[in-house]
């Protein structure tokens, strides 16, 4: 089924943040590498941020085999560095992000943010990119026990906001995020992927999704 057919009439949109609406992966990677260099240089050579896209900071650190005080200090240092980078304006919006969110608003859709990011980091990104006003609610990695690819975040989002899964669509970029949404029984669009992850429908970018909404609105008006 085409992306346009899948999203037609769905009134609730659950959007990921990092790698989907904002191009934050290079900045996350830089913050991790700087923190690891300071606190755990022995694991720097094996660190590849792209292998962890969509995971929480704590899950990435755990994946490095670190524990105890070093792991906790590394989590705090990475988050602090990332937030400094955000406030310095180093995290840009992806093309089409503001257009898509604006179109959702004008078309009478309700948008929520569902992200594995920590509350402090997410709030800073939303403020720095002037995105906060587009969302009716925000669920972060601090609100769940397990981050993506576990489906807990999307299941909790549907429960918290009384979302009918049959009336919702998810926008994600990473295989972790797709796995989380699909396991929660949600229709999922995946952006920026050469090949879609299992269960997702590939869309080129955010402008393609906005185009689908524009066509749907045009048809409803003409009728």
Question: Which of left, alpha, beta for 172 (phi over 0: left; psi -120 to 50: alpha)?
Answer: beta
Report the residue count for the chain.
223
Q: What is the CA radius of gyration of the chain?
A: 18
**Could you tell me if 95 and 57 are in contact, meaning their C-beta atoms sit under 8 angstroms apart?**
no
The Cα 71–Cα 78 span in angstroms is: 11
Tell me the catalytic residues: 16
The Cα 187–Cα 141 span in angstroms is: 21
The Cα 212–Cα 94 span in angstroms is: 18
Cβ atoms < 10 Å from Cβ of 107: 14
The structure tokens 């919006």 sit at 93
**Could you tell me if 111 and 15 are in contact, meaning their C-beta atoms sit under 8 angstroms apart?**
yes
Return the H-helix or E-strand segment holding 202.
strand 201-203
The Cα 15–Cα 189 span in angstroms is: 10
Return the H-helix or E-strand segment holding 189.
strand 187-191
């Amino acid at each position: 089924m085409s992306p346009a057919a899948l999203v037609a009439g769905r009134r609730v949109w659950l959007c990921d943040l990092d790698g989907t609406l904002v191009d934050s992966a290079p900045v996350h990677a830089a913050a991790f590498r700087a923190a690891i260099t300071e606190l755990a240089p022995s694991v720097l050579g094996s660190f590849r941020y792209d292998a962890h896209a969509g995971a929480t900071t704590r899950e990435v650190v755990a994946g490095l085999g670190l524990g105890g005080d070093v792991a906790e200090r590394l989590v705090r240092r990475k988050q602090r560095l990332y937030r400094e980078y955000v406030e310095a304006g180093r995290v840009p919006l992806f093309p089409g992000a503001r257009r898509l969110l604006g179109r959702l608003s004008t078309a009478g859709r309700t948008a929520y943010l569902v992200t594995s990011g920590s509350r402090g980091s997410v709030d800073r990104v939303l403020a720095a990119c002037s995105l906060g006003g587009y969302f009716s609610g925000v669920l972060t990695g601090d609100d769940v026990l397990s981050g993506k690819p576990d489906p807990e975040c999307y299941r909790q989002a549907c429960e918290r906001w009384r979302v009918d899964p049959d009336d919702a669509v998810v926008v994600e970029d990473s295989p972790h995020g797709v796995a989380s949404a699909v396991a929660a029984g949600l229709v999922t669009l995946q952006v920026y992927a050469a090949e879609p992850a299992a269960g997702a429908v590939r869309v080129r970018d955010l402008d393609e999704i906005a185009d689908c909404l524009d066509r749907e609105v045009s048809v409803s008006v003409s009728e």
